[in-house]
Amino acid sequence: MIGPDGEEYWTTKQAATAMEVSPSTISTWRTNGYLTPADGSPPRRPIYRRSDVVKAERLAYEAALRTSGSMKRTSRAAFAG
* pLDDT, tens only, 38-50: 988 888 899 999 9
Residue 75 CA to residue 61 CA, distance in Å, equals 11
CATH code at position 58? 1.10.1660
In a domain, 1, yes or no: no
Give pLDDT, residue 81.
46
Please give the residue range of the domain that contains residue 19.
9-79
> For the chain, what is the domain count?
1
- One-letter amino acid at 81 equals G
* pLDDT, tens only, 3-39: 767 789 999 999 999 999 999 999 999 999 999 999 8
